[in-house]
Chain A
Amino acid sequence: MRIPFTKHTLANGLDVLLHEDHACPIVAVNLWYHVGSKNERPGKTGFAHLFEHLMFEGSQHHDRGYFQPLQGAGATLNGSTNADRTNYWEVVPAGALELALWMESDRMGYLLPALTEAKFANQRDVVLNERRQNYENRPYGLAPMALLAALFPDDHPYHWTTIGEIADLKAVQLDEVHAFFRRYYHPGNASIALAGDIDADEALTMVDRYFGEIECGDPVEPVRADATLPRDVRIQFEDRVELPRLYVAWLTPAMFAEGDAELDLATDLLANGKTSRLYRRLVFDERIATDVSASQNSREMAGYAQLTATAAPGHTLGEIERVVFEEIARLAAEGPTDDEIERGRVQAEAQFMFRLQTVGGFGGKSDQLNAYNVFLDDPSYFPRDLERYQVVSKSSLREVAARYLDPSRRVTLSIVPHGRGALAAADSELAVVS
């Protein structure tokens, strides 16, 4: 299993990755900028994501909406921002590749002359509404803010969420946005992948024609920051919810680092799906929770594992917490079973095969090539990524669980209904979230 590709770097530093797949007459154009909310500073949060919005509002030579010509050519397109990177993609009919490259290169090279105060004000309003819709007006929606703020110190770039603080978004000035663009949105900080019905040589020539003229900016220094969690940080807040929910989070290894794959599998076998240990105990047998899930959220500088469980009516988060840590202790002491390891292995094989089905979009082959290239400088990493999961053993998983899912170094967050503070896990302090 692999994603065959060729890689070229243009004179201006832009990485170009090419993958031919002629099954369907479409081409995925996928462009990563190595900038995310971790490149922001306290008081200036939400920039990278706000920028993602502004990138769809027109550039110097096409000073109108970005969507219209591409949708008119039969494309689907989107973008996303996380802590570490921003990606933009189009999936176009093969005959519209040149149009997509024209559009992407124009907003890389010539965005600022078209970026007016009016567009900026409009998209700031849209982002404030995105925040209301996806966080403020959603039950438990402010949990990420509380968790990240407790896991990472105030000046650590993972302390804040990608959507940003309301006050920061309202205070941001257009000239700051311009400066942010000049620093991060240039060929030397970007990687473009084309996957699909292309001739690799012709496609490379076309990419060079449109992107080669864009000047490289100053090199972007990697962000570095450390975080340690010395104790069990116990916090709670009240929300407009019917059922209380418990979150437990731990600091864990970074993406692709040693222990990352083990934690993926450990969180799966603990809390994901009906076969998981905590589903069986909390939901199936003891029926004190309505749902449970967990994940290893691996990022470039550090990771965090998160476990979430919602209490069934009449039950407290303290009851759930006790069972969670009994099961974690059992895993840390005895390790997984042979059957759990074997299931994890075949599930990893299947999941990686599923990832080879699409050329574009979030998680498609073009997005994966860029991820491996940007984070590891190695677009060929796909089979070795799978191998990380295939070599996990009973002992390595047990050791990683014991080391990282430590009951004495974690964040324990309770979100409870208004006026029902007694349902929170014991000894929790009030968290301030907005």
Chain B
Amino acid sequence: MSILQGLGDALKLLFNLDPHLWGIVGRSLQVSLLAIALAACLAVPLGAVLGLIRENRFLKGFIVFNNALMGLPPVVAGLVVYILLSRQGPLGSWQLLFTVTAMVIVQVVLAFPIILGLSLSAVQAVPPGIREAAKTLGASPREQVLAVMREAKGGLLVAIAAGLGRVLAEVGAVMLVGGNIAGRTRVMTTAIVLETRQGNFGLAMGLGLILILLSVGLNMLINALGGKGAWR
């Protein structure tokens, strides 16, 4: 099959609203958006608070450790989560292996250090005077943190976008813990691998196109939020 033929088939599937293809897209979005929301809820506030601690040797050590985790190979993260959730593992009784929940967990593990590290850097880049200006005008400690986060908004959105890029494109970890089960845990990346191996280039290319468009679209949305000052 030529590339052009594959592309033609892909477009047909897209515009005919092929339920199989769009089902996989929906599941991908469900898993990745839920994972990124959870990771951001945990990592952004933590990054903001740690970013406000200017001088601390323990923090420096933590940053080095977190930076190492930012480059964690996804398949290793998948392996660790797999072992934890497997029947003999410490969390085996939860029976989460090969479920969407397991895929969300592993994506949170992958996105968390990225969002944390970039959030921390974004907050550290805000001049200390901003927090003091808020404080002298009567801001409580929580309001001071919010004032700093508002100034770091662009960097925080980049952090979330980077995390989203990581989890949307991830294949090895979700394959391990999700099992790529049709109709249950099959997402775009794992489906692309499977369909390519089976010679279904049309479906594989269609999914690839959607993956690229989603990635670009979500990043544009995040940038637009930053540019329009959504928190003002």
Are A and B co-members of a single complex? no
Chain B positions near chain A (C-beta within 8 angstroms): none
Chain A positions near chain B (C-beta within 8 angstroms): none
